[in-house]
Structure 1
């Protein structure tokens, strides 16, 4: 029988030294990783395998690394005969989702992720991101507005799951928020290179918009749920606009996984378990390919 699946693709917060090792044991994934390496200006596989971590988590490398693993995991699913009925990707993972939906071919996906990572790295370090645990998004919005200023903005950058909100902005504003968010269960600084999904990334938008407009794109074969809308769409203009807006806009991940779950249960396509955990917190169904049992389970369901 046909297994209806949503595909969710992780973003750069999931990178670690050794990522992709299990994928290298699958011929389809190994071939895809080699293809991606050949398309890049500099191969990413050696850095994924051996680090060092400080170079791997740098924006210009992290986005490429996670995309390479996402595309390799997608190749494994395709080899096994699975296809998505809806797709979404977390932050830079949205490019992997567009490839899975047939919007971008492999070469253009790689070119765009390399352009995105370069443009965002060129902004320079303007701020950071902190995960705020245990507070509703509305309260975090109020705290961010109180802590931020015109010159030192602070916004909610990601609604990852209920009680898991990420704020993004100027470092002094992040410090002020930590002092006033006394009701938070925990505040965790994220190992990212900048204040992504905030106004501080505005300098990268013009170049990114040009790159998106120049990339050949086709209407998706299946619905795509963009980060900034959280709503399924097959309209190519909407998808392009959302891809540009995402650079400074909020990632509505809770709404995204809820929308996907209304269509089908999902699988996290990559070398990560992060999205599966966030989905469960949002009450959505999600397996992860990082669990060796997932492919066996999907195959059993298809055979039933």
Structure 2
């Protein structure tokens, strides 16, 4: 059984999707996505500038376009997933891969999500805390945060790789408190995603998700906020709504997927493959053109 893992917003870069565009089936997906959008995303992926590409309203669409293109290549090669998951906005492409969402509805939901999140305005940020267990980071976040300046664990990316999300003042306080951390790194993201500060975007997002046509999944989906596989469409829908302010339990997700078989990162990124290695799991990446040859050899064996 092959697990499909779809990357999220933090993987954008100028030139993304370049090798995928050599495949006609992938080029067709980029063209289809561009036609569905208010403004096409492909020129920004190819040429930048980076400051516009990393903006929330562009980054989420750019990553989704690459994820969908990489998925089309795998499908053309004859591969099908046995389980799917996506990191943050990547969860929407995972739902498409599982047959829950059509391509057009996937793109429309991502565009809506990015627009709603961008409208919140800059309320804070995110920082990766390296070298500490999640329980310790939770303690630090509780000490640093206040009701007026919240701070939470937003992402459990891998053992020793935890991301906190919240107000800038609380982030600064945590940085001063975390003297036992190996390293603390500010993330190049537009806001405090997966934190209570995203609450203003939730009503509109919930309305959009509940209005989108969804079908029962053809394979299990591992939602971010539960880290457990499910085929229950109500759970999938509710989890997708909760994900906007909820924690991404990626360590649990990788553990579940790895127990079922090998995984491949479906997009133009190696971030999830690296996080999988930190968790002791194996994951190839479609950002490496050699992955298709490796998959062919493994499945032939």
Normalising by structure 1, report the TM-score.
Answer: 0.98
| Counterpart in the other structure of 1:76 | 73
2:38 to 36, 41, 53: 41
Aligned to 1:199: 196
Please list, as runs of the form range in 1=range in 2, the aligned pairs for 1:168-179 lying within 5 A after superposition. Answer: 168-179=165-176
Summarize the alignment of residues 43-62 of structure 1 with structure 2, pairs less than 5 Å apart. 43-62=40-59
> Of the candidates 289, 294, 300, which is equivalent to residue 297 of structure 1?
294
- Name the counterpart of 1:63: 60
Q: Which residue of 1 aligns with 2:91?
A: 94
Q: Would you say 1:244 and 2:241 are equivalent positions?
A: yes
Match of 1:259 in 2: 256
Q: 1:116 aligns with which of 109, 113, 116?
A: 113
Choose from 144, 149, 158 the match for 1:147.
144
| Cα-to-partner distance string for 1:80-138 (whole Å, 9 max, x where unaligned) | 00000000000000000000000000000000000000000000000000000001000
Matched, 1:288 2:285: yes
Unaligned runs of 5+ in 2: none
Residues 131-190 of structure 1, C-alpha deviation per residue, up to 9 Å, x if partnerless? 000010000000001001110000000000000000000000000111110011110000
Distance 2:42 2:258 in 1: 33
Distance 2:294 2:284 in 1: 10
**Structure 1: any 5+ residue segments left out of the alignment?**
none
CA distance in 1 between counterparts of 2:25 and 2:180 reads 48
Residues 244-268 of structure 1, C-alpha deviations (whole Å, 9 max, x = no match): 0000000000000101111111000
State whether residues 85 and 253 of structure 2, in contact with CA within 8 Å, keep that contact through their aligned partners in structure 1.
Answer: yes
Which consecutive aligned stretches of 4+ in structure 1 deviate over 6 angstroms post-superposition?
A: none
Of 270, 278, 288, the residue aligned with 1:273 is 270
Q: CA deviation at 1:303?
A: 2.4
Q: Distance in 1 between matches of 2:145 and 2:14?
A: 34
* CA distance in structure 2 between the partners assigned to 1:231 and 1:265 by the alignment: 17
TM-score when normalising by structure 2 = 0.99
The separation in 1 between residues aligned to 2:14 and 2:215, in whole angstroms, is 34
SS of 1:195's partner is coil
Note the C-alpha offset of 1:301: 2.1
SS in 1 for 2:30: helix
**RMSD between aligned residues:** 0.6
Q: Any idea what the Cα deviations from partners look like across 1:208-238, whole Å, max 9, x if unmatched?
A: 0000000000000000000000000000000
For 2:271 and 2:298, the matched residues in 1 are separated by 24
CA distance in 2, matches of 1:171, 1:17: 27
